[in-house]
């Protein structure tokens, strides 16, 4: 996945934007590794941003977002195999937590900055996000905060990133309904902010 756009129209980041993106991905990898090693894989606050909709006056909602490696093929195949290997939710959870507690989050540069979230088929929030096509994700954990404007896209089931998101989530939640939607959030790093700022 590209850094800030898809297809041939890749937006080139300047040094400050690149530093902010790397700062954010490093932070995400650290808090996710901690969640796997210390909290049994339960999502921490920094993995559950508050969504500010682009239409004024709308109440914010919290969603659980996922970061994926740039090359999703191997990890998707591994997660699919783990999900199909057993129908025992406990075994699935233990297996994925063990996998993600090891070296998975050790190398932030291997991750795309395009984030995803899985929604129920009739999700009102997903419908609004797709309709407006824009939002701001507000992240906060410990003493670090980020506000990241994003373009929102509905992914097709055949999309490799849809597959990566679905199979990852299925290991934590074996009851994902048919017709689940996956949205992609592509950051606008030129307008994003960090507090404290990226070094």
| 67 SS3 class | strand
Closest CA to 27 of 100, 111, 98, 102: 111
**Rounded mean pLDDT of the chain?**
92
What helix, strand, coil percent values describe the chain, rounded to 5?
40, 25, 35
> Using one digit for the tens of pLDDT, what is the confidence trace for 20-42?
999 999 999 999 999 999 999 99
Angle between helices 89-101 and 160-172 (to 10 degrees): 120
Six token digits for residue 182: 């996956």
- Residue 198 is predicted with a pLDDT of 86
Query: What is the sign, positive or negative, of the torsion defined by CA atoms of 46, 47, 53, 58?
Result: negative
Domain spans in the chain, listed from the N-terminal domain onward: 41-195
Three-state DSSP at 179 gives coil
User: Can you tell me the distance from the alpha carbon of 138 to that of 135, in angstroms, rounded to the nearest whole number?
Assistant: 10
Residue 4 buriedness (CB in 10 A; 0-12 / 13-18 / 19+): buried
Q: Rounded CA gap, 81 and 136, in Å?
A: 35
pLDDT digits (tens, 9 = 90+) for 100-140: 999 999 999 999 999 999 999 999 999 999 999 999 999 99
Contact 187, 149 (CB under 8 A): yes
> Which pTM value belongs to this model?
0.91
Q: Are 62 and 44 in contact (CB under 8 A)?
A: no
Quick one: pLDDT band at residue 44, thresholds 50, 70, 90?
very high
Instruction: For tokens 């914010």, name the residue.
Output: 60
Cα angle value 137/150/31 (rounded, 5°): 45
How many residues are present in the chain?
199
pLDDT tens track for 5-19: 444 445 678 999 999
Given a cut of 90, whether residue 179 has pLDDT beyond it is: yes
What the block records as the tokens of 196 is: 């404290």
- Mean pLDDT across the stretch 177-186? 97
Say which CATH superfamily domain 41-195 falls into: Electron Transport, Fmn-binding Protein; Chain A (2.30.110.10)
């Amino acid at each position: 996945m590209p850094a800030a756009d898809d297809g041939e129209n890749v937006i080139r980041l300047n040094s400050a934007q690149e530093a902010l993106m790397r700062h954010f991905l490093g932070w995400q990898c650290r808090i996710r590794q901690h969640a796997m090693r210390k909290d049994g894989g339960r999502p921490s606050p920094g993995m559950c941003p508050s969504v500010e909709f682009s239409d004024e006056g709308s109440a914010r909602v919290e969603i659980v977002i996922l970061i994926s490696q740039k090359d999703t093929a191997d990890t998707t195949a591994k997660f699919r195999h783990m999900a199909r290997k057993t129908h025992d939710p406990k075994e699935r959870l233990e297996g994925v937590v063990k996998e993600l507690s090891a070296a998975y989050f050790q190398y932030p540069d291997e991750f795309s900055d395009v984030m995803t979230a899985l929604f129920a088929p009739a999700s009102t929030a997903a419908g609004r996000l797709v309709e407006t096509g824009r939002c701001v994700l507000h992240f906060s954990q410990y003493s670090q905060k980020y506000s990241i404007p994003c373009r929102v896209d509905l992914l097709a089931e055949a999309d490799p990133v849809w597959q990566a998101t679905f199979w990852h989530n299925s290991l934590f939640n074996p009851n994902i309904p048919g017709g689940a939607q996956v949205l992609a959030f592509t950051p606008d790093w030129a307008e994003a902010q960090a507090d404290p700022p990226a070094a």
